[in-house]
Chains A and B, each alone.
Chain A
Amino acid sequence: MRAIYFAWVRERIGKAEEELDLPADVLTVADLMAWLSRKDEGYAHAFDTSSTIRAALDHVHAKPNAPLAGVREIAFFPPMTGG
């Protein structure tokens, strides 16, 4: 699965995108955030305010309990500030 990061999520993690090989027990968006947070301090810092981070699965907004099965691209980003 491709993961892409935007705005301060990208800056805290230190990269714009990466390929992820998910363990079998990572089933939802929330599982993935918890798994990434254990990788290093950058991820932990990005996700430590996980209630304010938004996710999209294949370009569609997704809630933390959304399943990852069949998803090709997940994006994590702060609340939007366009317009």
Chain B
Amino acid sequence: MASIAVQREAFDAAAATAALTDGRTDVGAVVTFTGLCRDEAGTLDALEIEHYPGMAEAEIARVAADAEARWPLLGVQIIHRYGTILPGEQIVLVVTASAHRDAAFAAADFLMDYMKTRAPFWKREHRRDGPTGDWVEAKDKDAAAAARWL
């Protein structure tokens, strides 16, 4: 049921939402989350996002299937970009549709927590003031956020 895309190109969140709802009358709630690239107080030139082709799609599909097993969802759309992302540009989109808002909110929250800790993507910062920066380290708070769904 979930629609999943891993792509270099920018996406249209409104179009993705419409794809889940157009022609339907059973959807009562749509939650849309868009993750954007911050400029880190003006210090960041760009984020470089590396991914594992094949596994990235497969792992996001497994995460989406987990969400669909936990909540009564009527649609899920996930898009994750890779490549060079500039401050202000989109990185990730999660759209969940359900009859009621509680399931749509919870599923979107769960999907982001699980994507951050399970989907094979890695970020590297390109800083304005110097050479290519370091790979971003995984954060304990992301692991803790994912653990609360266990």
Q: Which residues of A contact B (CB under 8 A)?
A: 4, 6-8, 56, 59-61, 75, 77-83
7 pairs across A/B with beta carbons < 8 Å? A6-B52, A56-B52, A75-B120, A77-B122, A79-B117, A81-B121, A82-B115
* Chain B 47-64 per-residue mask, 1 if CB under 8 angstroms from chain A, else 0: 001111011001100000
| Total A-B Cβ pairs within 8 A | 72
Question: Is B92 in contact with A82, judged by CB distance below 8 angstroms?
Answer: yes
Question: Is A7 in contact with B124, judged by CB distance below 8 angstroms?
Answer: yes
Question: Is B138 in contact with A79, judged by CB distance below 8 angstroms?
Answer: yes
Residue from the list B52, B55, B58, B137 in contact with A81, Cβ < 8 A: B137
- Besides A60-B58, A81-B137, A83-B91, 16 other A-B contacts (C-beta < 8 A): A6-B50, A6-B122, A7-B122, A7-B124, A7-B135, A56-B55, A59-B54, A59-B55, A59-B59, A60-B55, A77-B120, A81-B116, A81-B121, A81-B123, A81-B139, A82-B92
Q: Which residues of B contact A (CB under 8 A)?
A: 35, 49-52, 54-55, 58-59, 80, 91-92, 112, 115-124, 135-139, 142
